[in-house]
Structure 1
Amino acid sequence: MTSRRYLKYRVTETDKKVIRKFLVHKKFSSSQLHNLKNKGGLIFVNHRQRHFNYQMKTGDEILIVMSVETPSDLIKPMPGQVDVIYEDKYFLVINKPPGIASLPAKALTSKTMANIVKYYLEQNGENGTIHLVTRLDRDTSGLMVFAKNSYAHSMLDQILHSDHFQKYYLAIIYGHMEPESGLIDLPIGIDQSAFYLRTIDHDNGKPSKTIYKTVERFSRGSLLKLKLLTGRTHQIRVHLKASGHPIFGDYMYTNQEEPLINRQALHCAELKIVHPVTGELLDLQAPLPEDMTRLCQTLRG
């Protein structure tokens, strides 16, 4: 299914008045401007079609008809459960269960959240093009963001690692962090023993920062709330292992089975997003899943 997106603005006194400059100020990328000009996009000012060099005035109404996006055949729509936390015409936030990947791996046709979200969008008359803004490991649960078009994707990407897009996780760890709150600032690189693992690498690793706070202490574990300041692969898992307090059930980084939970006890619990189009502050939350809730109850004794 293909569909068009419409964006409406009213030109204010402080806005750029030439259409091209106006759109650049509204965070249109060069590729989006190219597609708008060369791939069937349309621009109307006060209901009359105009071009990039048109000079607008304060109070003018501008309507952008985005070029058509054709969904890729590489991701097949597949029915499945979608726990919608937030949705508007720009993006979709879902609560991902553990045990399902975010995106298909190459040459694999197993069901992933991308396949399920594509089916969901198409069933609701939306364009099925997948724009994954944030992803989670297969066995990490919680909030994921999908943009509904390339413009929204670009807008979200531009704020992804800023104060306008804050990601908070809950993790259950072995032992107790000392001090109970603080900053883990350790560079992360690829583990030379296995390409899919990450490790602390002071020579070649990328800067990585995680803020943590102890929410609850148990006799042999703790519930932490963590905020990502950077977005490295497996960042929280690697940082907590390096601190001496790995996550319960994280076999990949502990090499030990955990009878109390069959996956890493890590959950993306909250997103605070300043909506890149409307400016609204969104505080989106996903409750602690059942298996992590049971683990907390067990550890409380």
Structure 2
Amino acid sequence: MKNNRILKFQIKASDKKILRKFLIQHKFSSSQLHNLKNKGGQIYVNHKQRHFDFKMQTGDTLLIVLNNEEPSDIIRPMAGELDVIFEDEYLLVINKPPGIASLPAKARSSKTVANIVKYYLQEKHENASIHLVTRLDRDTSGLMVFAKNSFTHSLLDQILHSNDFQKFYLAIVYGKVDPTEGEIDLPIGIDPKAFYLRTIDYKLGKPSRTLYQTVENYENNSMLRLKLLTGRTHQIRVHLSAIGHPIIGDEMYSLKKDPRINRQALHCYQLQILHPVTKRLLKLTAPIPQDMVLLKSALKG
């Protein structure tokens, strides 16, 4: 595995030539610049160490060595299985099973995806600081993205809700959805009755948009393909409930238990990411988990 702390650039005619301005042009944040300067980062131009005020030329080779990161003690490494869908020196994308949280809650010491990822990275002798880019609810399955350093995390945050970072979900819902495709544009806020719930709130809610498209119809149910245009807590679950089609198994928002599946039938099945460092377009998929396959079979009769 290559060193994920090293970034290499070839200076183009269109690039800013003063080093600091180049770094800002290439999305280095003020904290990243501070860390480069004060926490052990190094900058080389044509193999000679340089400072922020150095003026580069077209064709120069710039090498950035990011500072070491000290992993936080808040997340303890714990052994566990990971279904790795994609990995390079900058990113780790895994397929999360249902029934496990993304991050530890303050009052819990149970194993989460973040604990397992930290153990996995430590075993590979890589930077074990946890940089969670996308999270999923405990009972939602599918693709989750971790960055392997703070710079990559910062770059991903900047594109998270753009066309360069697209997230697609599959959900099986109650009822046949009409119209069969469209956009749900309803503001989401905290439910005043319970802080852990979300609700449609036209006064205090944040703008929230979800695209949906019917991919299969059953006798009294539909499977939808959904694309998030914003990233609110429980967004898909709240939006689908608001239009009268809650997700099967989602007791929290459908207000009923379903014997056919023991969690909400929601799966993050596809990501399309323009890799922020290599600029390669990643098209990643995670197969539908067994419990949703069985639910589909039951609905088909």
Which aligned pairs between 1:212-227 and structure 2 lie closer than 5 A?
212-227=212-227
What CA distance in whole angstroms lies between the structure 2 residues aligned with 1:40 and 1:208?
41
What CA distance in whole angstroms lies between the structure 2 residues aligned with 1:66 and 1:247?
44
Matched, 1:117 2:117: yes
Displacement of 1:107: 3.4
Displacement of 1:240: 0.5
CA deviation vs aligned residue, 1:193-227 (integer Å, no higher than 9, x gap): 10000001111111111100000001121110000
Q: Output the amino acid matched with 2:111.
A: K
Instruction: Confirm or deny: 8 A CA contact 1:4 1:67 kept in the other structure.
Output: no
Which aligned pairs between 1:192-207 and structure 2 lie closer than 5 A?
192-207=192-207
What CA distance in whole angstroms lies between the structure 2 residues aligned with 1:289 and 1:107?
29
Instruction: Confirm or deny: 8 A CA contact 2:271 2:284 kept in the other structure.
Output: yes
What CA distance in whole angstroms lies between the structure 1 residues aligned with 2:170 and 2:193?
28
Q: Secondary structure of 2:16's partner?
A: coil
Matched with 1:126 is 126
Matched with 1:185 is 185
Matched with 1:76 is 76
Q: Secondary structure of 1:182's partner?
A: strand
Q: Secondary structure of 2:167's partner?
A: strand
Matched with 1:165 is 165
Matched, 1:243 2:243: yes
Judge which range, 138-147 or 103-112, deviates more: 103-112
Instruction: Confirm or deny: 8 A CA contact 1:4 1:68 kept in the other structure.
Output: no
What CA distance in whole angstroms lies between the structure 1 residues aligned with 2:42 and 2:120?
28
What CA distance in whole angstroms lies between the structure 2 residues aligned with 1:200 and 1:107?
28
Displacement of 1:4: 6.9
Q: Secondary structure of 2:278's partner?
A: coil
Return the TM-score normalized by structure 1: 0.98
Instruction: Confirm or deny: 8 A CA contact 2:4 2:90 kept in the other structure.
Output: no
Displacement of 1:258: 0.6
Matched with 2:65 is 65
What CA distance in whole angstroms lies between the structure 2 residues aligned with 1:292 and 1:22?
48
Displacement of 1:26: 1.1
Displacement of 1:108: 1.9
Instruction: Confirm or deny: 8 A CA contact 1:174 1:221 kept in the other structure.
Output: yes
Q: Output the amino acid matched with 1:176.
A: K
Displacement of 1:80: 0.6
Matched with 2:92 is 92
What CA distance in whole angstroms lies between the structure 1 residues aligned with 2:274 and 2:10?
20
Matched, 1:135 2:135: yes
Q: Secondary structure of 2:33's partner?
A: helix
Q: Secondary structure of 1:293's partner?
A: helix
Matched with 2:44 is 44
Q: Output the amino acid matched with 1:276.
A: P
Displacement of 1:124: 1.1
Q: Secondary structure of 1:192's partner?
A: coil
What CA distance in whole angstroms lies between the structure 2 residues aligned with 1:210 and 1:177?
14
Q: Secondary structure of 1:279's partner?
A: coil
Matched with 1:28 is 28
Matched with 2:232 is 232
What CA distance in whole angstroms lies between the structure 1 residues aligned with 2:260 and 2:44?
60
Q: What residue ranges of structure 1 are gaps of 5+ in the alignment?
A: none
Q: Secondary structure of 2:183's partner?
A: strand
Structure 1 stretches of 4+ with a deviation exceeding 3 A read: none
Return the TM-score normalized by structure 2: 0.98
Displacement of 1:275: 1.0
CA deviation vs aligned residue, 1:74-108 (integer Å, no higher than 9, x gap): 10000111111111111111000000000000132
What CA distance in whole angstroms lies between the structure 2 residues aligned with 1:254 and 1:172?
13
Matched with 2:150 is 150
Q: Output the amino acid matched with 2:50.
A: R
What CA distance in whole angstroms lies between the structure 2 residues aligned with 1:176 and 1:201?
25
What CA distance in whole angstroms lies between the structure 1 residues aligned with 2:109 and 2:125?
24
